[in-house]
Amino acid sequence: MKESPEALLRRVFGHAAFRGEQAAIVDHIAGGQDALVLMPTGGGKSLCYQLPALLREGTAIVVSPLIALMQDQVDALRQLGVRAACLNSTLDAEAAQAVERQLLAGELDLLYVAPERLLTARFMSLLDRARLALFAIDEAHCVSQWGHDFRPEYRELTVLHERWPDVPRIALTATADPPTQREIAERLQLQDARRFVNSFDRPNIRYTVVHKENAKRQLLDFLQAHPGAAGIVYCLSRRKVDETAQFLAAQGIDALPYHAGLDAATRAANQRRFLREEGVVMVATIAFGMGIDKPDVRFVAHVDLPKSIEGYYQETGRAGRDGEPSDAWMCYGLGDLVLLRQMIEQSESGPERKRLEHRKLDALVGYCESMRCRRQGLLANFGESHPGACGNCDNCLQPPEAWDATEPARKALSCVYRTGQRFGAAHLIDVLRGGDGERVRQFGHDRLGVHGIGTELDARTWRGVFRQLVAHGLLEVDAEGHGGLRLAEASRAVLRGEQPVMLRKPVARRARAGTTRGE
């Protein structure tokens, strides 16, 4: 008699029981049907096709865009005694031929392959001659233009269904906002496939967003509140990664850099230390972390604004896979927003793509500025609701207060207008506060009516005002130019006194996140 899925799970993978919907998914695929699986990072997606691969005759073909991850998965499977191999550009011709022979001889349970490889005429005719158990399409959001990691080759994967209609397909992703879900189903012709949607909530992760004052100091405070913990610090640029890692190391923190500009040996060595040793802080660009399976990452810190909520969710999802309390901490300021707007505008993408990226950034900024439960906000983005406030995010633990900022907002907007709609917040604040530095005098801004009309607020509070005016769409960033601020259409009603502006009160300066309220 054939071994049951549960028996295989225990014998081969060493797990006592299935998690969540794994059992149902395995049954469904093993029974020869198609599925679309939406499960958060760390949820246990791999098993959903690895087990059916063992249950069904023939070889499972796993499409994965991440070559580095492929090799890790294959190594891990081989250690379990599973006959797995991969085909990608890192193999030489001889090694590739050996894998092809194994495939045809029926000696492989799983074959991992990069999409561009799979789509070659040569490989497809090879598949025609092989016995196929199933197709697994990992990181399926890569098919979606709306998703955050679009790969054109993924679009061609419909050929799988057309050429081998009887082979079951399972598409998997950890990114699941409803538009991406719809696009995956449509693009991969999986409309009729059963959908398995797991909750995206990660209750053990505490979400916190702080406003940038002195990012390095704030990061250091945060890290010092987590002594000896392993974590990831994400930065936008390679240079920032290097600087931040050096700064932290000089402060006695075991921090290492990771980005694509480092040579392969250094990258591998740093990654190894992060995985094997305790308490290493990896300072990295977002390239780091894909496929890193380290269960006890205690925090993920963003010192720069991520590009979208989906990206943010995925990056923070690398924390706390072991279920223990973990932190997702982000430090963001207006400067980040200006920079990202400029990056989008100055990228090679077409106008439609740019609009899309601006919209995603809007959603993320909305999340950052939100006064409601962060978890509810994040999950809502994935079409999921959370019953009640979570009690485990900064907004729940320290409910923010709103203040009526209508007057300051009008002053800020007037100042933008009177100075010609081309200056950044720092200069505008200087003018409002009556500064008479060289730049203010050089432009004659000390002679304007708005000069010195805002002395009632300190510079920090003004920064919060400008940041939120941009976040709420009352001011726009001139992203094609130098990043100056200009009035958005929506600001007219405020300037005419028809619309009040309620803003989030700056949080009192405090040592660190997670302390009790009321200080």
Task: By CB under 5 A, name the binding residues for Zn ion.
Answer: 373, 375, 389-390, 393, 396
CB of 172 to ligand ADP, least distance (A): 7
Helix (H, G, I), strand (E, B) or coil at 8: helix
Contacts of 331 (CB under 8 A, 6+ apart): 209, 210, 211, 212, 215, 218, 219, 222, 301, 302, 303
Q: Which stretch binds ligand ADP (CB under 6 A): 42-50, 95-103, 242-250, 427-435?
A: 42-50
- CA 106, CA 201: separation in Å to the nearest integer? 40
Read off the tokens for 192. Answer: 């009729």
Read off the tokens for 376. Answer: 């509810």
Q: Binding partner of residue 446 among Zn ion, ligand ADP, none, CB under 5 to 8 Å per kind?
A: none
C-beta of 28 vs 375, nearer to Zn ion? 375
Helix (H, G, I), strand (E, B) or coil at 214: coil
CB of 371 to Zn ion, least distance (A): 11
Q: Are strands 485-487 and 475-477 parallel, antiparallel or unpaired?
A: antiparallel
- Residue spans of alpha helices (H) in 130-157: 152-155
C-beta of 222 vs 288, nearer to ligand ADP? 288
The reply on whether position 492 binds ligand ADP by CB under 6 A is: no
Q: Which stretch binds ligand ADP (CB under 6 A): 39-47, 191-199, 251-259, 337-345?
A: 39-47
C-beta of 46 vs 395, nearer to ligand ADP? 46
Q: Binding partner of residue 39 among ligand ADP, Zn ion, none, CB under 5 to 8 Å per kind?
A: ligand ADP
Other Cβ atoms closer than 10 A to 297: 25
The reply on whether position 59 binds ligand ADP by CB under 6 A is: no
CB of 320 to Zn ion, least distance (A): 16
Contact positions with ligand ADP (CB under 6 A) in 274-303: 293
Helix (H, G, I), strand (E, B) or coil at 207: strand
The reply on whether position 41 binds ligand ADP by CB under 6 A is: yes
Q: Binding partner of residue 390 among ligand ADP, Zn ion, none, CB under 5 to 8 Å per kind?
A: Zn ion
Task: Tell me which amino acid residue 378 is.
Answer: L
Cα–Cα distance list, 180 to 70, 184, 193 (Å): 24, 6, 16
| CA quadruple 471, 476, 481, 484: dihedral sign | negative
Other Cβ atoms closer than 10 A to 100: 19
Size of the site for ligand ADP (CB under 6 A): 13
C-beta of 172 vs 303, nearer to ligand ADP? 172
**Which residue matches tokens 């805002």?**
454
Q: Binding partner of residue 211 among ligand ADP, Zn ion, none, CB under 5 to 8 Å per kind?
A: none
Q: Binding partner of residue 393 among ligand ADP, Zn ion, none, CB under 5 to 8 Å per kind?
A: Zn ion
C-beta of 44 vs 306, nearer to ligand ADP? 44
- CA 210, CA 41: separation in Å to the nearest integer? 25
The reply on whether position 42 binds ligand ADP by CB under 6 A is: yes
Contact with ligand ADP (CB under 6 A) among 36, 38, 39, 113: 39
- CA 412, CA 193: separation in Å to the nearest integer? 53
CB of 18 to ligand ADP, least distance (A): 5
List, in sequence order, every residue forming a beta bridge with 301; answer none if it has no partner: 233, 329
Q: Binding partner of residue 201 among ligand ADP, Zn ion, none, CB under 5 to 8 Å per kind?
A: none
- Alpha-carbon Rg for the chain, nearest whole angstrom, is 26
Contact with ligand ADP (CB under 6 A) among 26, 30, 47, 494: 47
Counting DSSP H helices and E strands in the chain, the numbers are 23, 17
CB of 369 to Zn ion, least distance (A): 15
Q: Which stretch binds ligand ADP (CB under 6 A): 13-21, 62-70, 190-198, 346-354?
A: 13-21
Q: Binding partner of residue 27 among ligand ADP, Zn ion, none, CB under 5 to 8 Å per kind?
A: none
| CA quadruple 162, 163, 168, 171: dihedral sign | negative
What are residue 130's phi and psi, to 5 degrees? -100, 165
- Asked if residue 175 lies in contact with residue 314, where contact means CB atoms within 8 angstroms, the answer is yes
Q: Binding partner of residue 15 among Zn ion, ligand ADP, none, CB under 5 to 8 Å per kind?
A: ligand ADP
Contacts of 129 (CB under 8 A, 6+ apart): 104
What are residue 85's phi and psi, to 5 degrees? -150, 170
Q: Which stretch binds ligand ADP (CB under 6 A): 37-45, 112-120, 429-437, 453-461?
A: 37-45
The reply on whether position 25 binds ligand ADP by CB under 6 A is: no
Contact with ligand ADP (CB under 6 A) among 5, 44, 335, 506: 44
- Residue spans of alpha helices (H) in 111-213: 115-118, 121-129, 152-155, 158-163, 178-187
Contact with ligand ADP (CB under 6 A) among 4, 7, 15, 80: 15
CB of 472 to ligand ADP, least distance (A): 35
Closest CA to 114 of 174, 155, 66: 66
C-beta of 36 vs 405, nearer to ligand ADP? 36
Q: Binding partner of residue 345 among ligand ADP, Zn ion, none, CB under 5 to 8 Å per kind?
A: none
Binding site for ligand ADP (CB under 6 A): 15, 18-19, 22, 39, 41-47, 293
